[in-house]
């Protein structure tokens, strides 16, 4: 032992090594005690309390979906009346704004020269008839050639064509209305000289009055011909009509489809060119009416409603069918749902919650509104 101590004194490094080993053993023993004491104390299961949410069971109703479009009233048809003959305007029978019937005279063009030519053509026709009769008689007796008979026949045909031509010119000297309508514009006065093709008047037909609008590609499949529609002009006048036309090709650039709604207007009291809000009803769908206060956004920013299924929160994206003064009608939740009316801001999709149900004794929408306000 003395030899060992003497040896260590001669080599101090060994003393430092021994001290280091002793310290390591002492620290290790303390860690083992701590681990053994920690292992001996078993933690108790600590349960996080569930979030309480107020839930109301709501039943859906069949609601007719309605889409609103912005359109414009237009005439059923517009005709630009033009001259087909040349001559002076002899008489004007109507004024701008007058309502006319089919076949009614609009203006008369001077036709004295045409009338005289017509009389001459009729006289020539009678002469050609006599000549043909004589040529046929001589041919039968052998005194006339086949060529002379053919010439007489051709002359008669030409005479008949001249009579028809002049009769048509006399008819065209009176410009008449091709359909019932209103003289929207008149471009001539008495004494004006008209050439073939000159504008005379613009005739518009307002029965039916047509509302034109464009519907999106999402909603166009829900429309059909003869479907009822309601329009309201900027003046507040209500218009009732039916869809008469749905375009089969979308408008370039907008991918919308043109539709036309025909509105009866037998008295021509409704005017064209009015901005109109058009309401169209689609097929009924199941929808639940709620207050907008119970709607929420998910992590992706989708608008929806939080419901409870098997004590777990479920986020349901919704589709707004329509809105009124009592709330918003939403589809996408089926025919019934347990909607969270209080606490939906503190839970997320998939969370387990403690459900507090509401005894519903009033209208679902009214009850939901009261809860949301609380």
pLDDT band at 374 (very low <50, low <70, confident <90, very high): very low
Look up tokens 């519907």; give the residue.
Answer: 215
User: What CA–CA distance (Å, rounded) separates 192 from 90?
Assistant: 8
pLDDT over 60 (residue 38):
no
pLDDT over 70 (residue 10):
no
Find out whether 234 and 275 touch, Cβ atoms under 8 Å.
yes
User: What CA–CA distance (Å, rounded) separates 113 from 173?
Assistant: 11
Question: Which DSSP helix (H) or strand (E) runs through 324?
Answer: strand 319-324
Question: Is this structure's pTM higher than 0.85?
Answer: no
Q: How high is the pLDDT of residue 54?
A: 85
Task: Give the tokens for residue 358.
Answer: 């509401």
pLDDT over 60 (residue 198):
yes
3-state secondary structure of 290: strand
pLDDT band at 366 (very low <50, low <70, confident <90, very high): very low
250: DSSP letter: P
Beta bridge partners of 241: 229
CATH number of 111-172: 1.10.287
Task: Give the tokens for residue 98.
Answer: 């007058």
pLDDT band at 320 (very low <50, low <70, confident <90, very high): confident
In this structure, of 25-29, 63-67, 118-122, the range with the lowest mean pLDDT score is 25-29
Identify which has the larger pLDDT, 114 or 248.
248
User: What average pLDDT does range 214-220 have in this prediction?
Assistant: 90
Please state which CATH class domain 52-61+285-373 belongs to.
Answer: mainly beta
Cα 68 to Cα 24, 182, 277, 284: the distances in Å are 84, 31, 7, 16
Q: How high is the pLDDT of residue 369?
A: 43
Beta bridge partners of 331: 319
Q: Is the dihedral of CA 137, 143, 146, 151 positive or negative?
A: negative
Residues 6+ apart with CB under 8 A from 352: 50, 311, 312, 313
CATH number of 79-106+178-204: 2.40.50.100
pLDDT band at 44 (very low <50, low <70, confident <90, very high): low
Domain ranges of the chain: 52-61+285-373, 68-76+205-284, 79-106+178-204, 111-172
Residue 93 CB burial class (10 angstroms; 0-12, 13-18, ≥19): middle
Task: Give the tokens for residue 294.
Answer: 């119970």
User: What CA–CA distance (Å, rounded) separates 258 from 273?
Assistant: 17
252-285: pLDDT as tens digits? 888 999 999 999 999 998 999 999 999 998 878 8
Helices (H), the chain: 2-10, 12-40, 112-141, 146-172, 364-373
86-135: pLDDT as tens digits? 899 999 999 999 999 999 999 999 987 888 888 888 898 888 888 878 77
Q: Which of 352, 359, 303, 357 is nearest to 332 (CA)?
A: 303
Q: How high is the pLDDT of residue 371?
A: 43
Q: Which of 258, 232, 265, 233 is nearest to 243 (CA)?
A: 258
pLDDT over 70 (residue 239):
yes
Q: How high is the pLDDT of residue 364?
A: 44
pLDDT band at 58 (very low <50, low <70, confident <90, very high): confident
pLDDT band at 34 (very low <50, low <70, confident <90, very high): low
Look up tokens 């329009």; give the residue.
Answer: 231
pLDDT band at 12 (very low <50, low <70, confident <90, very high): low
Q: How high is the pLDDT of residue 218?
A: 85
User: What average pLDDT does range 286-291 have in this prediction?
Assistant: 85
Q: Across 165-174, 197-206, 304-313, which has the greatest mean pLDDT?
A: 197-206
User: What average pLDDT does range 13-25 have in this prediction?
Assistant: 67
Q: How high is the pLDDT of residue 101?
A: 93
Domain 68-76+205-284, what architecture?
Beta Barrel (2.40)
pLDDT over 60 (residue 167):
yes
| pLDDT, averaged across the chain | 82
Instruction: Please spell the DSSP secondary structure of 105-140, one letter per residue.
Output: EEEEE--HHHHHHHHHHHHHHHHHHHHHHHHHHHHH
pLDDT over 60 (residue 209):
yes
Instruction: Name the maximum alpha-carbon separation found in the chain.
Output: 182
């Amino acid at each position: 032992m003395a030899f060992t101590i003497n040896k260590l004194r001669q080599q101090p490094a060994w003393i430092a090594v021994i001290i280091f080993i002793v310290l390591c053993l002492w620290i290790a023993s303390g860690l083992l005690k701590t681990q053994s004491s920690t292992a001996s104390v078993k933690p108790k299961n600590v349960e996080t309390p569930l979030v309480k949410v107020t839930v109301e069971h709501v039943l859906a109703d069949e609601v007719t979906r309605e889409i609103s479009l912005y359109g414009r009233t237009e005439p059923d048809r517009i005709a630009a009346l033009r001259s087909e003959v040349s001559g002076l305007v002899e008489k004007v029978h109507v004024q701008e704004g007058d309502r006319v019937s089919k076949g009614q005279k609009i203006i008369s063009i001077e036709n004295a020269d045409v009338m005289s030519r017509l009389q001459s053509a009729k006289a020539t026709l009678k002469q050609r008839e006599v000549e043909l009769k004589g040529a046929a008689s001589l041919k039968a007796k052998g005194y006339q050639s086949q060529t002379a008979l053919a010439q007489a026949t051709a002359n008669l045909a030409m005479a008949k064509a001249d009579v028809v031509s002049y009769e048509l010119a006399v008819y065209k000297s009176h410009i008449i209305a091709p359909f019932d309508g209103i003289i929207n514009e008149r471009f001539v006065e008495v004494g004006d000289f008209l050439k073939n093709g000159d504008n005379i008047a613009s005739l518009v037909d307002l029965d039916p009055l047509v509302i034109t609008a464009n519907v999106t590609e999402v909603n166009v499949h829900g429309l059909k011909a003869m479907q009822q529609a309601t329009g309201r002009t900027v003046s507040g006048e209500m218009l009732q009509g039916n869809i008469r036309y749905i375009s089969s090709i979308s408008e370039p650039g907008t991918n919308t489809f043109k539709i036309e709604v025909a509105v009866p207007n037998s008295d021509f009291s409704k005017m064209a060119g009015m901005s109109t809000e058009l309401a169209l009803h689609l097929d009924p769908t199941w929808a639940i009416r709620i207050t907008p206060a119970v709607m929420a956004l998910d992590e992706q920013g989708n608008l929806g409603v939080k419901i409870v299924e098997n004590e777990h929160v479920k986020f349901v994206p919704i589709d707004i069918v329509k809105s009124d003064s009592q709330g918003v009608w939403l589809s996408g939740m089926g025919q019934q749902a347990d909607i969270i009316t209080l606490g939906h801001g503190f839970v997320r999709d998939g969370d387990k919650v403690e459900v507090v149900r509401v005894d519903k004794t009033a209208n679902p929408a009214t009850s939901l509104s009261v809860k949301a306000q609380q």
